[in-house]
Amino acid sequence: MQVTGYATDWTPPSTIDAQAPALTIVGVDGVDVSLAGNDVATPSSGALQLLATAHADGLRAELLVGNSAITGTATAVATRLLTSSSNRAHVAAKLVRLVWSQGWDGLTVDIEALAPRDAPGLVAFVARLHKLLPRRAQLAVDVSATPTLAEYPAIGYHLRSLGSIADVVLMAYDESGPWSAPGPIGGLPWQRASVAAVRHLVPARHLVLGVAAYGFTWPRGARVHDGVAVTAKQARRLAALNHKRPRWIASQGEWTVRLRDGTVLWWADVRSYKLRRIMASHDGLAGLAVWQLASSDQLPKR
């Protein structure tokens, strides 16, 4: 079973070195589609350093392309890219040139905040990449998780078509967040239901379970978006500073605690990861994908 660890281009190479025994792939969140939807950035020096580090550690390195470079524009960028055949062709060609010239082992398409009209274009974009990429290259597409199968076309995904072209990374996190009431980041029941739904259309051998390695805070009386993301280490430290003992919620496979000022935290850690690994293995999935290494506990060896 493959294990992908995602890293942004500012992640220290030492983080890759430390986590290498647990991984098969490093996914580098390295480039974004332009605001006009017709171009893609060139990987930074930090991204290229992570590429070199992954290879030095005997791991594959995949370039992740996204659409979140400018806050609040993700949906517009996705539509400009995916509804224009010329934009899709130009961006796909540039990405493939980067794979060839820089030595990436594959691509992950992380185009999010989609509208229903974007779904056919996403399939066409992924299909074009599949056609142009070298045979050795791996291709994956990120899909936001929901346990309701009928909802996927409404959020921009034609799952059966995507799963016939590329691996589908089911981003089974952000079940709860600062936009919602306190709750698990990606609880086991919600993840199991999401995987079960997607498996109706995507073969297990092409399905990767995306799991969280972080948490959120919910300050008491907070307005929407007042909470912040925390690493597992930060969450434990906040609990210790407040002389509060975190509770392991077995049914969700995550931790929670209420601080003295009323702030509620939920987070996933290495214990959470181990349960997701068991679930992925039991269901015969292609692997796990961890977002992200910079906030993760030390993962167990493969």
For every residue of 266-302, DSSP letters joined together read EE--HHHHHHHHHHHHHTT-SEEEEE-GGGPPPPPP-
Residue 255, H or E segment? strand 254-258
Neighbour tally for 300: CB within 10 Å: 12
Using the 8-state DSSP alphabet, how is residue 33 labeled? B
Tokens 């430390």 locate to 18
List, in sequence order, every residue forming a beta bridge with 265; answer none if it has no partner.
217, 257
Longest dimension (CA), the chain: 58
Q: What is the DSSP string of 191-244?
A: HHHHHHHHTTTS-GGGEEEEEE--EEEE-TTPPTT---EE-HHHHHHHHHHTT-
Q: Are 127 and 109 in contact (CB under 8 A)?
A: no
pLDDT score at 69: 74
Using the 8-state DSSP alphabet, how is residue 103 labeled? T
Instruction: Count how many residues are written for the chain.
Output: 302
pLDDT score at 71: 73
Q: Angle 270-282/188-198 helices, nearest 10 degrees?
A: 30
Contacts (Cβ under 8 Å, ≥6 apart) of 143: 152, 157, 159, 162, 168, 169, 170, 171, 198
pLDDT score at 118: 98
List, in sequence order, every residue forming a beta bridge with 293; answer none if it has no partner.
none
pLDDT score at 293: 98
Q: Are 287 and 4 in contact (CB under 8 A)?
A: yes
Contacts (Cβ under 8 Å, ≥6 apart) of 190: 145, 147, 172, 175, 184
Q: Are 177 and 256 in contact (CB under 8 A)?
A: no
Using the 8-state DSSP alphabet, how is residue 55 labeled? H
Through-space distance between the first and last CA atoms of the chain, rounded to whole angstroms: 9
Q: What is the pLDDT along the chain (302 residues), one digit of tens a residue?
A: 999 999 999 999 999 999 999 999 999 999 999 999 999 999 999 999 999 999 999 999 999 999 987 778 999 999 999 999 999 999 999 999 999 999 999 999 999 999 999 999 999 999 999 999 999 999 999 999 999 999 999 999 999 999 999 999 999 999 999 989 999 999 999 999 999 999 999 999 999 999 999 999 999 987 766 889 999 999 999 999 999 999 999 999 999 999 999 999 999 999 999 999 999 999 999 999 999 999 999 999 99
Tokens 């346990």 locate to 147
Q: Are 129 and 109 in contact (CB under 8 A)?
A: yes
Q: Whole-angstrom Cα distance, residue 148 to residue 123? A: 20
